[in-house]
Amino acid sequence: MAGTERDRGGSVPGLRFAGAVHRLVLEGRAPRLARHYPTVGGTPVLDELWTDTEPVLHQHVDVLRRRVRATVVQTNEPGRMAPLHGGLLVAAQRAAEAAGHAEPFPIRLLEVGASGGLNLRPDRVALELPGGRTLGDPDSPLRLPTEWAGLPPADLDAPLRVIERAGCDANPVDITTEDGRLHLSSFVWPDMLDRWRRLQAALRLAATNPVRVAAAPGPSWLARRLAERRPGLLTVVWHSIVWQYVSPGDRARGRAVLAAAATKATPEAPLALLVYEPRRTAGGQGPSRWRFDLLLRLWPAGHSLYLGSGGGHGIPFSWDVRPWT
Ligand SMILES: C[S@@+](CC[C@H](N)C(=O)[O-])C[C@H]1O[C@@H](n2cnc3c(N)ncnc32)[C@H](O)[C@@H]1O
């Protein structure tokens, strides 16, 4: 880990290390360690874990060092499509009300920090609601048990229509390759089998409807996409668990690009910002200091809403709508 001591805290070098070790296991290069990894059928035996780990670290030190330095955390978590789906329903309906339309707007979805692009299909997942109801596509290979408390403040009978979808990432993952799929898989923590199955189902769903994620930092890509106006569609800029990885320069540039586009939004070509990002809470210690909030801004309607909070992987989630200032 030498050389990572001064990396920005948000870039989480510890997770890059854990992902690099997991990848060795997934590649079949660490059979003794694999016995402890549930993602390859193992069961952790804590008394033997370090004895089985240490030789692997020595044997593969070069590749581990290289991966810790060269990779960014690529937790492309499909569970985040549950709050995204609900947030898009709210945005499409509020924008329609503001424009005097009876039907919700169809959507152009633009995702910044899309990683492998797994979350670009929120309309194609089956969202299982408490009480047995399903939203989205009931036949989807990807089923998300939403664990929602409350419901989005929207007409849930009006289906979500995503007409266009595109994403960018500073380090995109090409999920059409074995290497890309392994890379994403290595960032699912090995004892989280529900998430592991979700990721594999999301990869199958993505294969039925490929979308190439552009290799570009958010601001320049967003400026190009937002310059293409789409009257009749609600353009939604979405990012989840990205902000902590973005450099201060890109944050400032991204804000400026969005502010400029907001001034050009009209009732017939509205613009929304929808984000799912951690925010520090006043109380709490360690990881419980962080809360993951779903926030929505809508132009030109002028809405700015906190829609609710949930787990870092999008499930569970509690809907609770208030003004966001
Ligand atoms: C933890 S992943 C989250 C992926 C995805 N948004 C999700 O929720 O599943 C963070 C992603 O942000 C990307 N990223 C960081 N800075 C970026 C920037 N300035 N522009 C575009 N992408 C960026 C990283 O490459 C990484 O793929």
pLDDT band at residue 287 under the 50/70/90 scheme? low
Residue 170, pLDDT score: 95
Question: What DSSP assignment string belongs to 82-118?
Answer: HHHHHHHHHHHHHHHHHHT-SSPPPEEEEEES-TTSG
Q: Flag whether pLDDT at 284 surpasses 80.
A: no
Number of the ligand 1 atom closest to the C-alpha atom of 171 = 25
> Is the domain of 60 the same as that of 103?
no
Average confidence score pLDDT of the chain: 95
Per-residue pLDDT, 183: 95
Distance in Å, CA 320 to ligand 1 centroid: 27
Which tokens sit at 301? 């309607």
Among the three residues 51, 70, 89, which one is the final residue of a domain in this structure? 70
Average pLDDT in the 67-87 region?
94
Three-class SS state of 22: helix
Question: Would strands 214-215 and 148-149 be described as parallel, antiparallel, or unpaired?
Answer: unpaired
Q: The tokens of 172 are what?
A: 């995109």
Q: How far is the CA of 113 from the centre of ligand 1 (A)?
A: 3
Q: Where in the sequence is the domain holding 37, given as residue range(s)?
A: 9-70
Same domain, 116 and 165: yes
User: How many Cα neighbours within 13 Å face the side chain of 282?
Assistant: 0
* Token output for 194: 């529900």
Residue 282, pLDDT above cutoff 80: no
Ligand 1 neighbour 80 (Cβ under 6 A): yes
Number of domains in the chain: 2
Residue 219 and residue 303 share a domain: yes
**What mean pLDDT do residues 9-25 have?**
93
Q: Identify whether 100 is part of a domain.
A: yes
Domain C-terminal end among 70, 93, 112: 70
Residue 3 lies in a domain: no
Residues 57 and 82 in one domain: no
pLDDT at residue 43, rounded to an integer: 97
Residue 126: inside a domain, yes or no?
A: yes
**pLDDT reported for residue 9:** 77
* In-domain check, residue 208: yes
Q: Is residue 4 part of a domain?
A: no
- 116 and 240 inside one domain: yes
* Distance from C-alpha of 16 to C-alpha of 31, rounded to nearest angstrom: 21
Q: What is the pLDDT of residues 46-68, one digit of tens each?
A: 999 999 999 999 999 999 999 99
Co-location of 201 and 258 in the same domain: yes
Bridge partners for 306 per DSSP: 295, 322
Q: Looking at residue 11, what is its pLDDT?
A: 86
Average pLDDT of the residues in 28-53:
97
pLDDT digits (tens, 9 = 90+) for 293-304: 999 999 999 999
User: 309 and 210 share a domain?
Assistant: yes
Q: Are residues 49 and 122 in the same domain?
A: no
Separation CA 240–CA 114 (nearest Å): 8
In the numeric block, which tokens belong to residue 322? 């208030």
For 203-240, write each residue's pLDDT tens digit.
Answer: 999 999 899 999 999 999 999 999 999 999 999 999 99
Please give the structure tokens belonging to residue 113. Answer: 């920090």
Q: Please write the tens of the pLDDT for every residue from 81-121.
A: 999 999 999 999 999 999 999 999 999 999 999 999 999 99
Residue 2 forms part of a structural domain: no
Is the pLDDT at 286 greater than 90? The verdict is: no
Q: Is 113 in the pocket of ligand 1 (CB under 6 A)?
A: yes
38 and 180 co-located in one domain: no
Q: 175 C-alpha vs ligand 1 centroid, how far in Å?
A: 15
Does residue 131 sit in the same domain as residue 20?
no
> Do the domain assignments include residue 1?
no
Flag whether 209 is in a domain: yes
Give the Cα separation of 158 and 95 in Å (integer).
14
Cα 71 to ligand 1 centre (Å): 12
The predicted-structure confidence for 169-195, as pLDDT tens digits, reads as follows 999 999 999 999 999 999 999 999 999
Of 70, 99, 123, the residue that ends a domain is 70
In this structure, the answer to whether residues 60 and 82 fall within a common structural domain is no
Per-residue model confidence (pLDDT) at position 3: 87
Task: Name the strands in the sheet holding 162-169, side by side, starting at the edge strand that comes first in the sequence.
Answer: 148-149, 317-323, 303-310, 290-299, 271-280, 234-240, 107-112, 162-169, 214-215
**Ligand 1 pocket, 71 CB below 6 A?**
no
Based on the fold, state whether residues 47 and 120 are members of the same structural domain.
no
- Would the pLDDT of 285 be above 80? no
